[in-house]
Amino acid sequence: MSAEVNDPFIDHPSAPEPGTTKTRRVPTLGLALLPIAAMVVFLAVGYIWLGLAAEPLIVAATFVAGFVAIYLGWSFDEIMAAISEKLAKVMPAFLILISVGFLIGAWMIGGTIPMIIYYGLEIISPEWLALTALLVTSIVSLATGTSWGSAGTIGVAFMGVAIGLDANLALVAGAVVAGAYFGDKMSPLSDTTNLAALTTGVNLYTHIGNMIWTTGPAYLLSIVVFATAGRSAAGAGGNLESVSLINGFLDQAFNWNVLLLLPLLIVLVGSMMRKPTVPVMILASVVALINAVIFQGQTFANAVQATLSGFDLSMLEAIGLDASGAPAEVSRLLERGGMSSMMGTLLIAFCALSFAGVVARTGALDLIVEKLMNVAKSTSSLILSTIAICLVTIATTCNGQVSIVMPGEMLREAYIKRGLHPKVLSRTLEDSVTVTETLIPWTAAGAYMAGTLGVATLDYAPWAVLNWAGMIFAAIWAFTGLGIKRITPAEQDMFLNNPQAAINA
């Protein structure tokens, strides 16, 4: 026993487990931080420097956490049980992510998403190029749930227009990035939006609605900026050839009908009526598949395949259209969706949650959060600490998914015990991770946007107002108390002990 007491890694031995003589030892702060430090180092060296996949590196960090757990007296079976318990709690959210992939594929082949893109592009006005870029990219990103996809297609088209008009490229690129990430943040089809809700145990649409508090003012501020400064981005002349090519092909490939928007209406109504997410998405997908067969002339086999592996331009051969000459922008825009497209997000979430399950079982998370709570004694300091943790995590790991899951898992219980609804945490995660990743040059998102749009990250960053203004409004509401939802003791118990009921609430 003296060896345990004198061990520099151990604070003190804990009481034996009920019905056993086995003693659990309590880690010091240094030992509690060891697995997290391993995660940061593995991702910093392996993911950023060596370009290795993130998932095996997270698994390696989980092994470190496992060795720490065994050192503290936990058995292998108990560690596996901890992982299983953690994954079981988020399984309904995993089903939502798979349903999102199913829905995107169905909406693509059914014409819902292409129709939204087509009419969004029709409103382009050269005089208001930057503002239009913001609005149209927002529409496309909301419809598709992907910032990279909308920036790499519609965004590229707008940059081509900007070049032709001899416009301020940094300004237009900032508008594209802001619009792309507005949709990525607010769309129920977005993987990061689903992941933030999943990690914090919040209903998806509750999470999206609550983000209006920070994203709404940030978006309005963006509109004001681009409505005033944006007019200088458009000169005389220029051409809209790239946009014309996209819309010309879409017009050939799809038959427009107001009923194509019915799946979108089903999702909106289901959201407002607070119906269960998965059944609503499946219903909207089935209607889209019916549209694909009736209005788009697609085969049933193609429709089903789109829900599995995503829409493919080769499927247009069913209507007699040769898509081999389709513009590259159209291919990047439409060829996505399907349940298989969500497997990457599910895998990294699986790995990160396994890591979190092991660390939580040892009591390390409780100790870390306890130390944090000793410093962050007020609601405002807690939210500001969350923002700081998220920024450091995303700047270090360069992985938005990991940077959502790790702080979310660490801080969820702390928010609940402070009487704060976990949707405040899920909103803050998005304010400080989802939209800020693209402002950091060495992240994948920052490099992608710079390479895709042809403007350096630090050049467009000041104009990407939405991406940094959300944190400012988050801090303002934290100090004023506006938009900060508090919960009752009964609700605290529900969120802590009945996560499925909390998600459906």
Average pLDDT, the chain: 82
Residue 211's pLDDT band (cuts 50, 70, 90): very high
pLDDT of residue 258: 94
177 versus 322: which is more confidently predicted? 177
pLDDT at 426 over 90: yes
pLDDT band (50, 70, 90) for residue 68: very high
Provide the pLDDT confidence category of residue 11 given band limits of 50, 70 and 90: very low
- Burial group, residue 139, by CB count within 10 angstroms (0-12, 13-18, 19+): buried
Q: Which residue has the higher pLDDT, 327 or 178?
A: 178
Q: How far apart are CA 121 and CA 87, in angstroms?
A: 42
What pLDDT is attached to residue 266? 87
Q: What is the pLDDT of residues 85-133, one digit of tens each?
A: 878 877 776 787 788 789 888 998 999 888 877 887 777 666 788 898 8
Do 235 and 165 touch, CB atoms closer than 8 A? Answer: yes
Contact of 128 with 230, CB cutoff 8 Å: yes
Higher-pLDDT residue of 119 and 67 is 67
- Indicate the pLDDT class of residue 463, thresholds 50, 70 and 90: very high
- Residue percentage of the chain with pLDDT more than 70: 88
pLDDT at 289: 96
| 169-186 vs 156-164: helix crossing angle, rounded to 10 | 160
Q: What are phi and psi of 16, to 5 degrees?
A: -60, 155
Instruction: Evaluate if residue 186 carries a pLDDT over 80.
Output: yes
pLDDT at residue 502, rounded to an integer: 57
How far, rounded to the nearest angstrom, does the alpha carbon of residue 488 sit from its chain's CA centroid?
Answer: 28
Tell me how far apart the alpha carbons of residues 112 and 288 are, in angstroms, rounded to a whole number.
7
pLDDT digits (tens, 9 = 90+) for 288-299: 999 999 999 999
Residues in the chain: 505
Instruction: Report the distance separating Cα 127 and Cα 230, nearest Å.
Output: 9
Burial 219-244 (b: 16+ CB within 10 A, else e): bebbbebbeebbeebbeeebebebbe
Portion of the chain with pLDDT greater than 90, in percent: 30
Name which of 163-177, 309-323, 468-482 the model is least confident about. 163-177
63-67, 233-237, 363-367: lowest mean pLDDT where?
233-237
Q: What is the pLDDT of residue 159?
A: 79
Phi, psi of 123 (to 5 degrees): -90, 5
Range picked from 194-208, 364-378, 486-500 for highest mean pLDDT:
194-208
The residue-averaged pLDDT of 389-398 equals 76
pLDDT at 398 over 70: no
Strands (E), 30-139: none
Determine the average pLDDT of the residues in 258-276. Answer: 81
| pLDDT tens readout for residues 302-361 | 999 999 999 999 999 999 998 888 887 788 778 878 898 878 778 877 887 788 788 878
Lowest mean pLDDT among 177-181, 311-315, 416-420, 424-428: 416-420
Contact 475, 431 (CB under 8 A): no
Q: How much is the average pLDDT of 481-485?
A: 90
User: For residue 187, what pLDDT band results from cuts at 50, 70 and 90?
Assistant: confident
- How would residue 224 be classed by pLDDT, with cut points 50, 70 and 90? very high
- Confidence at residue 291, expressed as pLDDT on a 0 to 100 scale: 96
Task: Label residue 389 by pLDDT band (50, 70, 90).
Answer: confident
**Nearest to residue 94, comparing CAs of 369, 397, 405?**
405
Which pLDDT score is estimated for 319?
A: 92
Lowest mean per-residue pLDDT among 27-41, 166-180, 261-275, 289-303:
261-275
Residue 137 pLDDT exceeds 70: yes
C-alpha to C-alpha distances, 47 to 43, 402, 450, nearest whole angstrom: 5, 12, 20
What pLDDT was estimated at residue 31?
87
What Rg do the C-alpha atoms of the chain give, in angstroms? 24
User: What's the burial of 275, exposed, middle or buried (CB within 10 Å: 0-12/13-18/19+)?
Assistant: middle
DSSP assignments along 239-292, one per residue: --HHHHHHHHHHHHH----GGGGHHHHHHHHHHHTT--HHHHHHHHHHHHHHHH
Look at residue 472 in the predicted model and tell me its pLDDT.
95
